[in-house]
Amino acid sequence: MKEENRKINIVLNPLNLIEDKKSTVEFSNENVFQNKKVKIHNETETVDIYEDLVKTIEEKDKIIKELSNKIREQEIIINQSDRNINNNKINQAIEIVDYLLNTKSIDLEIQTEQNKNKRLTNIIEMLISKIKELKMNKLS
């Protein structure tokens, strides 16, 4: 029995417990009991409170782990969406460049057609003028 008491005291002392001469343990931990002091008069109560503390700490650890996992998941989602946004921007830029290249080539084709037409028109006009000249020369 003395050995159990010693174990309990060793376990509880790190939790800021103060021993009384009457073997009463007084505990005050602001985080767990919210500024309430608890007096413990026997060993089973001490063990119960210790077990409750351990459970509370384990639950807090579990919640912290879950929250950190959720944060990591959100970071992964954010990173993926950033990549998707960047990919979308790159794809849009490629489409714009393709469009500009295509319209430029279309413009060049139109210009070459217009140039061909102008040349043909010039040649035709020159031929017509030559024919007129020849007719005039023949008539005279």
pLDDT of 19 higher than 70: no
Q: What pLDDT digit, counting tens, does each position of 31-88 carry?
A: 444 444 455 555 555 566 777 777 888 888 888 888 888 888 888 888 887 788 888 8
Q: What pLDDT digit, counting tens, does each position of 79-131 carry?
A: 887 788 888 888 888 888 878 777 776 777 777 777 778 888 888 888 888 88
Burial 98-111 (b: 16+ CB within 10 A, else e): eeeeeeeeeeeeee
pLDDT of 7 higher than 60: no
